[in-house]
Amino acid sequence: MTDKALPESLTCRISSGFFLSPALHVFNPDTDYALGDGGRFYTPPRIVSRMRRELALFPATYAAPGDMILLLDDLSRDEMENSPYLAVMEAKRIKAVPLAGLQGLADSVRSISPWGWNATLLRILEENNAPETLLPSPERIAGLRELSHRRTTVAFQRLASTIMPQCASPVPVELTSEDEVMDFCNRNPGCWLKAPWSSSGRGVMHTDDLEERHIRPWARGIIRRQGSVMGEVDRGRKLDFATEWMISGGKAHFAGLSVFDTSSRGKYHGNRLETQARLATIIRESCGFDPHAFIYVQSEILSRIVGHDYEGPAGIDMLVTSKGEVNLCVEINFRMTMGMANLLAAR
């Protein structure tokens, strides 16, 4: 196949309609950790809190002109003026709104679009008098939490193996005790252990050169906090990539491809800023499969799994193994992703 863009029939026309502009954007990169905690009073680690402050205006890069950004932290004038995104805000006429200003926005915004929803964010917005009509119910937040658990990947892969058996992958295993974790590690040397809710490679352990004395305490802590650990067989990795989606009305609409780089330990390093045609070529050359084949299969499965339980952006992380095989679903992020942010910024 020649190096050309994906056909428009497959590509969701990304428009502010999905965010019902004018939208109020919120950058809360701690959302996966908050989902893992499950409570309404989660406090993120210091490094994540600092990132939230430093990148508070980042949504300006993908927001539509005239949108707004809610500041979860009280930024000083210097922090605002030194933000690398201030010029984008000014060019798009985007206004920064403090928490105290939420109550007066009932007639100014049509949607609240955080990086991701969780119970703690919902409480903060409620306590600061955000328009009730723009907030999800506690029941929907609870449903999103369950959907965001890594066991959703298990259901996805089982369906995928029946539709596209040539891309069948070993299904992750949920482990609920330290002994189960160690037994899995002994049977699968160099395996991956993952917290049910984690983000950007944090909460992920590659056991290739680790001893039991390193693994047990980590597993004990994850099981205590989140109830289990997911175990995955290591098949090597040649390429990390993703498909980005907008989910609306019970249907998953393809938005675009993304390719990103990670460390040997699975830590996220950044997305490659290339055209969609170039990204498709990178994927095709890495595994021999045309990305179109993945998109049709994933659209069917994602719509079936999610149904009407979630609306908003989502990303399916995938990888090409060292042997050129494709894992159709390493994990699913039911939130904004850097890949989606890049697609919106290029809109």
The answer, yes or no, to whether the previous bond of 172 is cis (omega within 30 of 0) is: no
In a domain, 298, yes or no: yes
In a domain, 154, yes or no: no
Banded model confidence at residue 1, pLDDT cuts 50, 70, 90: very low
In a domain, 336, yes or no: yes
Residues 134 and 30 in one domain: yes
- pLDDT of 236-245, one tens digit each? 889 999 999 9
**Is the pLDDT confidence value at 13 over 70?**
no
Residues 163 and 220 in one domain: no
Residue 106's domain comprises 15-146
In total, how many domains does the chain have? 3
Residues 163 and 310 in one domain: yes
- pLDDT of 100-142, one tens digit each? 888 878 778 888 999 999 999 999 999 999 988 899 999 999 9
Q: How far is CA 22 from CA 19, 90, 346, in A?
A: 8, 16, 19
Residues 177 and 51 in one domain: no
Q: The domain spanning residue 221 has which CATH number?
A: 3.30.1490
In a domain, 5, yes or no: no
In a domain, 210, yes or no: yes
Amino acid found at 68:
M
Cβ(35)–Cβ(121) below 8 Å: no
In a domain, 242, yes or no: yes
Overall pTM > 0.75: yes
Residues 140 and 85 in one domain: yes
pLDDT score for 7: 40
Q: How far is CA 223 from CA 7, 172, 208, in A?
A: 45, 16, 21
- pLDDT of 281-334, one tens digit each? 999 988 888 888 888 889 989 988 887 778 899 999 999 998 888 889 999 999
Cβ(242)–Cβ(199) below 8 Å: no
Phi-psi region of 227 (alpha: psi -120 to 50; beta: other; left: phi over 0): left
Cβ(306)–Cβ(23) below 8 Å: no
Burial of 9 (0-12, 13-18, 19+ CB in 10 A): exposed
In a domain, 223, yes or no: yes
Banded model confidence at residue 166, pLDDT cuts 50, 70, 90: confident
CA–CA gap between residue 228 and residue 219 (Å, rounded): 8
Cβ(323)–Cβ(167) below 8 Å: no
